[in-house]
Amino acid sequence: MPTPVLSGATVHPNPNPLSMSLPVVICGESLLDVFQERITPAGLALDAVVGGSPLNVAVGVARLGRPTIFLGPISRDFLGERIDQAIRAEGIDPCGLVPCDAPTTLSLIGLDAHGVPSYRFYGHGGADRQLHAKDLARLPKKVAALHFGSYACVVEPIGTTIRQLVQERFTSTVIAYDPNIRLNVEPDIEVWRATVRWMSYRTHLLKLSDEDFALLYPNTSPAEQAAVWRAAGVRLVVVTQGGQGAQAWCAAGHCEVRSPSVTVADTVGAGDTFQAATLVALAELGLLTPEGLGQLSLETCQTLLSFAAQAAAITCTRRGPDLPRRGELPSLVKA
């Protein structure tokens, strides 16, 4: 049976079979997203959902059918036990889980009338920050890609550990990065800019939202900054634009897609879904290698964006980070 390919994509003439079989590693925070359920006579009823941007990406990659490892610390408290259970239930390889005694981070989420989230974090000294250099030995020597993102890259000690891992692997392994800025965790935007700048010289797939882009570069257009990142070595730059779609820059040029029209429950996890779907699509095409990303055609790039946008749209129809499974996107694949 021939390898399935994404409809409309130009298949790389020499797809790398390892990019289709090796695991994708996602590194960063895991936490509980705590939503207001309803007002009660004595206060509020809350609903806690396992989340965290990197963990959402890991769930997305696993649900879309790729071997997945999550690398990150998990608290031994009862909340951490629930996160551990959720990770294993999704079929994510637990070899990268690092038990620790620090408390589980909580993210309180309020939604406005349009379903757009606002966040308040309770995570200073939390378990998800306690990744150290010795923990990197948990990873296999060969993986298809390493994804990083969100506040794990700008807090310690995990930030230093991430930079060590990136430095060790970026010449041979796809590095994917989504800044996913949270100023209520690290309020100094210059810290985020410095991190993005450092990562841009070691990242092959850089994805960020238009909101994050506006925070980082208020006086620069995405096209201008994409050219800077491409010159630094980034192979694929993607800027997502919520309901307006997404645009990307690669060696072949620039392309963009519109988002599908859906009834939005909320947008929690939509960007993480987009990143997960992009990684999976690249793997299915045998292009999840530094070389493959450097040789994308505009046709293939457009197909990647369309696939990711449709996956993200499904997440937006559900409450919280409930990412889609591969069987929910059958129209994008042909034999």
The tens-digit pLDDT sequence of the chain (335 residues) is 333 344 444 444 455 655 568 999 999 999 998 987 888 999 988 999 898 999 999 999 999 999 999 999 999 999 999 999 999 999 999 999 999 999 999 988 777 777 676 778 899 999 999 999 999 999 999 999 999 999 999 999 999 999 999 999 999 999 999 999 999 899 999 999 999 999 999 999 999 999 999 999 999 999 999 999 999 999 999 999 999 999 999 999 999 999 999 999 888 899 999 999 999 999 999 999 999 999 999 999 999 999 999 999 999 999 878 999 999 984 444 43
Q: How big, in percent rounded to 5, are the helix, strand and coil portions of the chain? A: 40, 25, 35
Number of domains in the chain: 1
Q: Is residue 61 part of a domain?
A: yes
| Backbone angles phi and psi of 197, in degrees to 5 | -60, -45
Going by their DSSP bridges, the two strands 43-51 and 253-257 should be labelled as: unpaired
How much is the pLDDT for 19? 57
Whether a cis peptide bond, with omega within 30° of 0, leads into 222 is no
Dihedral-angle region of residue 219 (phi above 0 means left; psi in -120 to 50 means alpha; beta otherwise)? alpha
Q: Is residue 247 part of a domain?
A: yes
Name the residue type at position 196. V
Name the residue type at position 40. T
Paired tokens of 22: 């090796």
Cα distance between residue 31 and residue 49, in whole Å:
8
Q: Is residue 314 part of a domain?
A: yes
Neighbour count for residue 242 (Cβ, 10 Å):
17
For position 206, which CATH number holds?
A: 3.40.1190.20
Q: Is residue 7 part of a domain?
A: no
Q: Is residue 4 part of a domain?
A: no
Cα distance between residue 103 and residue 121, in whole Å:
13
Range of the domain at 301: 13-327
Give pTM, 2 decimals.
0.91
